[in-house]
């Protein structure tokens, strides 16, 4: 009888040890990885998943995510509890430089909370940038941009293959930081203020015409809400409206403020430019 109890105790111990060992050795590599870019927000959108058995077990998991740009690598960790809905996982990464400038790659590995082992890394998923394109001359991106006063702007200059960027600068008193001596030059201006129209110049390590690039950006303010608005008519057919548009936005020509007038009774909308607009019935 005693031997029977000893046998059961040993069997229970072995079962517990095997279960613990099994949990510690659980590995769920990434089975799906997709990367998109949101150019409006300059953001990478990452979606991935692991085997459905991890979802069914509702495991607590950690994911190590790496983003690579040229010789720089950023690492982030995401912890989450999976559930039986089996929905893919999502993560976002905001870029400090225009995504169009350089290629960005993402890879992920995973680890269950009860496990001691990380999975193998997924393959790199790459979003191509202009640094991989065949261009006939250096290119500045963005080549024309409106930036709100007080905000930052980041630009890049992409050289042709085999060339390096030797000069990348602002022809303006706006302070800036730049980095050159590689195929992609970087320029960052922080807290910009209006000081004319800044011109951006870039040069490769040569002096022929196709070794240079030029761009501009415009620093402005959002328009104020129109005030002192009034309209009058003398013949009930033509209405003259005037308003004060507020402070100068520093934006002119095609970048100047556009206004619309809306007639309440007929819900008709009229485009308006400047301070005065005449509407005819």
Residue with tokens 């991106």: 141
Residue 198: predicted pLDDT: 83
Lowest-confidence segment of 4-8, 25-29, 31-35, 83-87 by average pLDDT = 4-8
| Cβ atoms within 10 Å of 129's Cβ, excluding its own | 22
pLDDT of 99 > 80? The answer is: yes
pLDDT band at 54 (very low <50, low <70, confident <90, very high): very high
pLDDT of 279 > 80? The answer is: no
Compare 24 and 119 and report the one with higher pLDDT.
Answer: 119
Range among 122-126, 128-132, 215-219 rated most confident: 122-126
Q: Which of 96, 32, 85, 84 is nearest to 63 (CA)?
A: 32
pLDDT tens-digit map of 128-144: 998 888 889 999 998 88
End-to-end Cα, the chain, rounded Å: 108
pLDDT of 275 > 60? The answer is: no
Q: What is the mean pLDDT of residues 58-80?
A: 95
Residue 249: predicted pLDDT: 87
pLDDT of 21 > 70? The answer is: no
* Sign, Cα dihedral of 65, 184, 213, 189: positive
Domains and CATH numbers, the chain: 23-130 (2.60.40.10), 133-220 (2.60.40.10), 227-280 (no CATH)
Q: Which of 214, 160, 168, 166 is nearest to 189 (CA)?
A: 168
């Amino acid at each position: 009888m005693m031997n029977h109890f000893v046998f059961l105790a040993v069997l229970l111990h072995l079962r517990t040890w095997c279960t613990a060992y099994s949990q510690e050795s659980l590995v769920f590599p990434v089975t799906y990885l997709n990367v998109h870019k949101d150019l409006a927000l300059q953001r990478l959108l990452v979606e991935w998943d692991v085997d459905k058995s991890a979802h069914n077990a509702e495991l607590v998991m950690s994911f190590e995510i790496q983003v690579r740009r040229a010789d720089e690598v950023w690492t982030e960790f995401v912890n989450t509890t999976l559930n039986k809905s089996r929905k893919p996982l999502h993560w976002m990464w905001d870029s400090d430089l225009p995504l169009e400038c350089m290629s960005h790659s993402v890879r992920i590995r995973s680890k269950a909370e009860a496990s001691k082992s990380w999975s193998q890394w997924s393959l790199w998923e790459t979003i191509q940038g202009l640094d991989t394109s065949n261009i006939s001359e250096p290119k500045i991106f963005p080549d024309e941009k409106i930036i709100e006063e007080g905000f930052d702007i980041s630009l890049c200059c992409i050289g042709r293959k085999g060339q390096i960027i030797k000069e990348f600068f602002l022809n303006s008193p706006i302070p800036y930081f730049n980095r050159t001596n590689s195929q992609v030059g970087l320029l960052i201006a922080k807290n910009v203020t209006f000081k004319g129209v800044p011109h951006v110049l870039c040069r490769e390590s040569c002096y022929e015409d196709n070794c240079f690039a030029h761009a501009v950006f415009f620093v402005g303010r959002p328009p104020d809400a129109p005030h002192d608005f009034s309209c009058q008519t003398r013949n009930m057919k033509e209405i003259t409206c005037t308003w004060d548009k507020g402070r100068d936005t520093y934006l002119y020509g095609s970048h100047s403020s556009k206004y619309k007038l809306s007639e309440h009774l007929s819900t008709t909308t009229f485009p308006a430019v400047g301070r005065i607009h005449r509407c005819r019935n």
